[in-house]
Structures are given as C-alpha cells and as structure tokens.
Amino acid sequence: MKKTGDDILKKVGLYVGRFQPFHLGHLFAVKYALKRVDELIIVIGSSQKSHEPRHPFTTGERITMIVRSLEEEKIPRSSYLIVPVPDTEVHPTWVSLVEFMCPKFNIVFSNDPLTIRLMEESGYKVIQVPLKNREFLSGTEIRRRILKDLDWQSYVPAAVRDFIMEIDGCERIKVISKNND
C-alpha cells in the first residue's frame, strides 16, 4: 500500500498476544512497547477461539480485560487500539491478514519465535520484549493454577481478577477441561 510521509514519521507498534487471560507479563510488554512508539496496536490472536482448554475466553471478554487493565494503569485509550485477528488455515498468509485488519504499523514487539520469523521475513523490524518471571507469567501456567485451585490472582492485573470472577471464568475453565464423549 502507498506509504505517506505522515505514516513514516509516526511510530506505530504492533504487539500480538492471545491473552488467555491477559496477565502481568502482557501488561509489562504493553508498557515496554508504549515507551518506544507513538501508538500501539494490540492484536488479539486466535480471536476465533474460546471455550477450549487452551482458549477459554471470547474475544469480547479479552477486549474487556485489556481495556480495564490499562484503565487501571492510567494508560490513555488514545495511545492504543485493539484489533482481533483470527488464525489463518494457511499460516504464511497470516502476516498479510494482520496488514489487512490493522492500521499501518512499522515496528513489531514479540517474543514468539514464529511470529518474529514470519514478521522479519516480511520485512518488519522486530523488537524482543525482555521476559519477566516467565515461569509464572504464562497463560498455560495461569490456566493450570485456576484448574488446580492454586493462587492465580497474583499473576494478573486486579481488573482481570475481578472480571474473571464476574463472569464465573474459573468454573468455565473447569467445565471445558473435562474429557467428555
């Protein structure tokens, strides 16, 4: 697409996550990215999925988690946009789907090796976000803790903790983990 002088001058970042749920590692990454760009596009990946063990929450629920968490942190809404992007059956077309669904961006923030590789192959500059406390700050670990009734509340923003309780999310995670036939 035609690039204008204006687009080139403004630094727009892209940060991709599945946010199942949105946790403190995601929050750190958003803040890290916002220090380096004028505007951040937060892409909700695998947006079509929910009610599965690895993907418990809907797109709408994940939007709510992000908006409330960033509000809590006094991050102004004018500094970011949220865009849900579904998976593509043919994986290498995913970058062009992101380009289709999002306003123009020129820097990518990611720690996922495949996202980094695909984005770099398409010519984007990719910045790796330093990982903090990786052992606990992962969606897999937090969902495991919810399932086992262990402390998970310490690893997500207060707004996410409240919202998951509001929608009875722990019960949902338990229900969908059952193997039924």
The residues of the shown chain that bind its own copies, judged by CB under 8 A, are 1-2, 4, 6, 18, 20, 47-52, 54, 58-61, 63-64, 67, 76-78, 81-84, 88-93, 95-97, 99-104, 111-114, 117-118, 121, 138-140, 166-168, 172, 175-176, 178, 180-181
Q: Could you say which DSSP state residue 20 is in?
A: T
With contact defined as beta carbons under 8 Å apart, do 79 and 34 qualify? yes
Shortest gap between Cβ of 29 and its own copies (angstroms)? 13
Tokens 């998970």 -> residue: 152
Shortest gap between Cβ of 36 and its own copies (angstroms)? 20
Query: How many Cβ atoms are within 10 Å of 170's Cβ, its own excluded?
Result: 17
Of the pair 38, 168, the CB lying nearest its own copies is at: 168
Of the pair 76, 130, the CB lying nearest its own copies is at: 76
Which helix (H) or strand (E) covers residue 161, if one does?
A: helix 158-166
CA neighbours within 13 Å on the CB side: how many for 147? 15
